[in-house]
Chain A
Amino acid sequence: MNFIYSRTYKALVTLPPILWVSLFLHLPYLMMLLHSFWAVRDGVIVDRWNFDNYATLFKNPLYLQVLFRTARIAASVTLLSVLLGYPVAYFLSFHAGPRKEILYQLVIVPLWVSYLVRGYAWKTILGSDGVLNGFLQYLHITHGPVSAILYSPFAVVLMLTHIYTPFVFLPIYASLEHIPRPLIEASQDLGASPRKTFFRVILPLSLPGLLAGATFAFVLSPGDFLAPLLVGGPSGTMIANLVQSLFGAAYDWPLGAAISVFILVITVALLAVTQRVEKHWSFE
């Protein structure tokens, strides 16, 4: 079917993007991979091949602590985004009636609002002289500013949940919309209670969407180095901040590269597994 395009045409459309992307995108990624097996000696990066950088990541207690905190934050963000996103998707799909389209757009719009703008907004809300503290004092719930809210892992979780809820909502909503309605009617006609219909029919059929959304939040939130800097403070430091400081002040590119490759491998592996599972589960 491709015979109508000449060889020249094919070469002209194929070569420039492949060369460009290989040279300016994949070669840099490859350099990252190579550096992760190199070392720093006397402030100079040398190609002494080793696995020490990877070993350091899993042996150094400080790095392990940050790694576990990152996993905890990512898991909390994922769980909260699902707990917020799923019911909204369910409500829109089954109960919103004619307002469905407009409500759908309302969930999507924040996705387009600048990431930095939303992060900044949380900073002004959670700060010790921020909007939330002002509000609590206005209602006489507290009498002085509560300073523990901003610059904590909790603040990072809150901000990232806010960012990822619409992302998680999208695939869940799509999978709920794809459930053939006669299946639900059949379940009800055969006498299943609404609870049973939900747990036996709707939830299993929406699992691929749920999984896609959850993976997305879990995979993307650990790579965020701006949220911890913005609202996390030292106690909210995440793995991407380690990478950033290793490439900056600490000048240990090989170790920073090893941590980056670790994030990359986890990301790609999780996405590949999810894709497999989704294919396996989808009933079409």
Chain B
Amino acid sequence: MSASTSTVSRRPWLLGSYAALVFAFIYLPIIVLVAYSFNRDGVGGFPPRHFTFAWYRQLFADSAIWDSVVNSLIVAAGAVVLSLTLGLLAALALDRADFPCKSLFRRLVLLPLILPGIITGLSMLMFAVIAGFQRSLILVFFGHGTALISVATTELFAGLQKMDRRQEEASLDLGATPWRTFWLVTLPNLKLSLIAAGLLIFTLSMDEIAVTFFLIGSESTLPLEIWGRLRRGITPEINAISTLILVVSIILIAIWYHLRTRNEHD
């Protein structure tokens, strides 16, 4: 097949060079970011001249950053639990129950995925103000958890659709209660989907700015802490934390991707 399709274009090298340039464009900012995190003389200028770990040392001593990392981790962990719980129920409902306006609900639950974050964030802010909730980290957790039900529902519904329904039927036929069947058959079957969705939600929550921006109180999450510093003038310390974020997200992607392919092959 590749022999015949290679005649589609007579000059694949031209196309290949173009593709290489696009890859360079995509990766250039990331490479620059990492390179300058080791640059003694700041985030600009060319070429970076003096190699140093000083910015990483400064970063590790910077308690404000680490406080915000802890806040982000708490929010993300909470958002994973909240959105997976409700997303799992919603996915089960869409998969096996009939209720009025089902297809409408299925579309509406996806709104936070397709709308700009600012609209979801501001809508939630209005609700919070009118309902009398204080802007705080807890509100951010509720916001993330609720908005990300969209992701959980989509991922888990896909997992349920692939599941072999007969195992549950057998379990119920053999006299297991629905509750027992849920814990011993349904959940174990969905394990990989749950972990994959959880990782995705965790990553999205850790990186979220738009909703957080409007719901946060006096504390900071990691993205908002970085955001605040960007406005005050920048040092390679931000490159250093960005490089660490990069490393962690690549590890998470690798895990997610691994689970995903395993899930597809099962």
Question: A residues engaging B (CB < 8 A)?
Answer: 2, 4-6, 8-14, 16-18, 20-21, 24-29, 31-32, 35, 84-85, 87-88, 90-92, 94-95, 97, 103, 105-107, 109-110, 112-118, 120-125, 127, 129-131, 133-135, 137-138, 162, 165-166, 181, 184-185, 188, 194, 197-198, 202, 219-220, 222-226, 230, 240, 243-244, 247, 253, 256-257, 260, 263-264, 267-268, 271
Report whether B26 and A166 are in contact in the complex, using a CB–CB cutoff of 8 Å.
Answer: yes
Q: Give A33 to B230 CA distance when docked, in angstroms.
A: 33
Report whether A121 and B89 are in contact in the complex, using a CB–CB cutoff of 8 Å.
Answer: no
**In chain B between 109 and 133, which residues have their CB closer than 8 angstroms to a CB of chain A?**
109, 111-112, 114-120, 122-127, 130
**Chain B residues within 8 Å of A13, by CB:** 89-90, 92-93, 96-97
Report whether A116 and B97 are in contact in the complex, using a CB–CB cutoff of 8 Å.
Answer: no
Cβ distance A139 to chain B, nearest Cβ, rounded Å: 9
Cβ distance B198 to chain A, nearest Cβ, rounded Å: 15
Report whether B122 and A113 are in contact in the complex, using a CB–CB cutoff of 8 Å.
Answer: no
Residue of B98, B119, B209 ringed by the most chain A CB atoms within 10 A: B119
**In chain B between 144 and 186, which residues have their CB closer than 8 angstroms to a CB of chain A?**
146-147, 149, 153, 168-169, 172, 178
Q: Give A21 to B127 CA distance when docked, in angstroms.
A: 13
Shortest Cβ distance from A244 into B: residue: B118
Given A2-B98, A138-B46, CB of A95 within 8 Å of CB of B116: no
Q: Give A91 to B238 CA distance when docked, in angstroms.
A: 36
Cβ distance B28 to chain A, nearest Cβ, rounded Å: 8
Which one, A16, A24, A243, contacts B127 given CB within 8 A? A24
What is the size, in residues, of chain B's interface with A at 8 Å between Cβ atoms? Answer: 89
Shortest Cβ distance from A19 into B: residue: B86
Which one, A26, A107, A185, A260, contacts B122 given CB within 8 A? A260
Is B8 interfacial (CB 8 A cutoff)?
Answer: yes
Cβ distance A92 to chain B, nearest Cβ, rounded Å: 7
Q: Give A68 to B193 CA distance when docked, in angstroms.
A: 43
15 CB contacts below 8 A, A to B, read A5-B178, A14-B97, A24-B127, A24-B142, A27-B127, A28-B123, A32-B119, A88-B22, A107-B26, A114-B206, A121-B33, A122-B29, A127-B44, A137-B46, A223-B116
Given A106-B23, A138-B47, A165-B26, CB of A121 within 8 Å of CB of B111: no
**Chain B residues within 8 Å of A194, by CB:** 7-10
Shortest Cβ distance from B10 into A: residue: A194
Instruction: Identify whether the interface residues of A are mostly helix, strand, loop, or mixed.
Output: helix
Q: Give A240 to B214 CA distance when docked, in angstroms.
A: 13
New A-B pairs, 16, CB < 8 Å, besides A4-B172, A5-B178, A13-B97: A5-B96, A17-B89, A17-B93, A28-B127, A87-B19, A95-B12, A114-B246, A116-B226, A120-B226, A120-B242, A123-B234, A198-B9, A226-B210, A243-B119, A244-B118, A263-B116
Q: Give A187 to B98 CA distance when docked, in angstroms.
A: 48
**Chain B residues within 8 Å of A166, by CB:** 26
Report whether A225 and B118 are in contact in the complex, using a CB–CB cutoff of 8 Å.
Answer: yes
Closest A-B pairs by Cβ, 4 of them: A223-B116, A134-B46, A121-B29, A28-B123
**Chain A residues within 8 Å of B32, by CB:** 121, 124-125, 131
Report whether A20 and B172 are in contact in the complex, using a CB–CB cutoff of 8 Å.
Answer: no
Report whether A18 and B36 are in contact in the complex, using a CB–CB cutoff of 8 Å.
Answer: no
Report whether A4 and B245 are in contact in the complex, using a CB–CB cutoff of 8 Å.
Answer: no
Cβ distance B206 to chain A, nearest Cβ, rounded Å: 8
Given A2-B97, A5-B97, A116-B223, CB of A188 within 8 Å of CB of B4: yes
Which one, A9, A225, A267, contacts B210 given CB within 8 A? A225
Given A134-B46, A135-B46, A260-B122, CB of A91 within 8 Å of CB of B12: yes
**Chain B residues within 8 Å of A219, by CB:** 114
Report whether B8 and A114 are in contact in the complex, using a CB–CB cutoff of 8 Å.
Answer: no
Report whether A114 and B93 are in contact in the complex, using a CB–CB cutoff of 8 Å.
Answer: no
Is B51 interfacial (CB 8 A cutoff)?
Answer: no
Which one, A18, A124, A226, contacts B105 given CB within 8 A? A18
Shortest Cβ distance from B152 into A: residue: A17
Q: Give A234 to B253 CA distance when docked, in angstroms.
A: 36
**Chain B residues within 8 Å of A5, by CB:** 96-97, 178
Shortest Cβ distance from A246 into B: residue: B122
Report whether B124 and A116 are in contact in the complex, using a CB–CB cutoff of 8 Å.
Answer: no
Shortest Cβ distance from B105 into A: residue: A18
Q: Give A8 to B178 CA distance when docked, in angstroms.
A: 10
Q: Give A224 to B119 CA distance when docked, in angstroms.
A: 10
**Chain B residues within 8 Å of A202, by CB:** 8
Cβ distance A274 to chain B, nearest Cβ, rounded Å: 11
Report whether A17 and B149 are in contact in the complex, using a CB–CB cutoff of 8 Å.
Answer: yes
Q: Give A230 to B125 CA distance when docked, in angstroms.
A: 23
Is B61 interfacial (CB 8 A cutoff)?
Answer: no
Residue of A16, A29, A122, A268 ringed by the most chain B CB atoms within 10 A: A29
Report whether B5 and A4 are in contact in the complex, using a CB–CB cutoff of 8 Å.
Answer: no
Q: Give A20 to B90 CA distance when docked, in angstroms.
A: 10
Q: Give A32 to B129 CA distance when docked, in angstroms.
A: 12
